[in-house]
Chains A and B, each alone.
Chain A
């Protein structure tokens, strides 16, 4: 399986993602934001970080960079595109997934482990995954998911919510919402479910001696789904 990770100026989780993808069997290529064409890929990843220094709005400048037109075309033709953290912010700015990510409700940069519950397994990202709840890491200042009421209705009607913040038992309640996001939303799909944006970093949870292994579960399952 082939993957590509896009590096923007200010990306800082691109190499972590490269390590994670390779660990679980992807043949990964790093792609510079000024490139025009994507290499042949089964999965394209927009990594975390602070692309363009978060100028204007997080992800807004990156969403207009040269490579993004190819990424948008790839997504629109059914290709799998996953945006993590800043990558999620870039995805909302392109309009590939609905909504926006606002400043965290309590104005803190949040850097800690959280639990998320998988809301929809009928897609190539989470199909066949054994767990319903994953422990993953978040590190962000703007992860407060927001959309209009009409958009929310559409998102829910189309089962586009991918994961919600919850406790270790999978309860989705307000006290387990780290950043004020609507309905504890931590990640969403596009309508067709080939594009996934999420705030948590699975690539940070792939080494039992450093963190947890729930990221490993995610990547192992992902590559099996793509085979």
Chain B
């Protein structure tokens, strides 16, 4: 079963990379971008076949390793 996870920076955390990307976009003509926030995307292929259990396990993975909850939020995208 494949589960996807998106990790994003929390609202108040500075994202210098996102800011530079926004400036670069501006430089090549995309002048209407207010802000860019950079995040991470994971595809996890697990042996678990029960969607609920798989999701719970991935949630544990997020808390223990994939995300740093001081600065990041995670969002689990439905299993396929």
Residues in A whose Cβ lies below 8 Å from that of B71 = 100, 102, 146
Interface residues of A (CB under 8 A from B): 56-57, 60, 64, 93, 99-100, 102-107, 144, 146-148, 151, 180
- In the complex, the number of residue pairs spanning A and B with C-beta atoms less than 8 Å apart equals 34
CA distance A100 to B9 in the complex (A): 12
Residues in B whose Cβ lies below 8 Å from that of A57 = 68
Residues in A whose Cβ lies below 8 Å from that of B14 = 102, 105, 144, 146, 180
Task: Tell me the residues in window 42-79 of chain B with beta carbons closer than 8 Å to chain A beta carbons.
Answer: 65-66, 68, 70-71
Find the B residue at minimum CB distance from A147: B70
Could you tell me how many residues of chain B have their Cβ less than 8 Å away from some Cβ of chain A? 10
CB distance from B43 to the nearest CB of A (A): 15
The answer to whether B68 and A146 touch across the interface, beta carbons within 8 angstroms, is: no
CB distance from B73 to the nearest CB of A (A): 13
The answer to whether B16 and A103 touch across the interface, beta carbons within 8 angstroms, is: yes
CA distance A196 to B65 in the complex (A): 23
Find the B residue at minimum CB distance from A105: B16
Find the A residue at minimum CB distance from B66: A56
CA distance A104 to B65 in the complex (A): 22
**28 A-B interface contacts by CB (under 8 A):** A56-B65, A56-B66, A60-B65, A60-B68, A64-B65, A93-B68, A99-B70, A100-B68, A100-B70, A100-B71, A102-B14, A102-B16, A102-B71, A103-B17, A104-B16, A105-B14, A105-B16, A106-B16, A107-B16, A107-B17, A107-B20, A144-B14, A146-B13, A146-B71, A148-B70, A151-B70, A180-B14, A180-B16
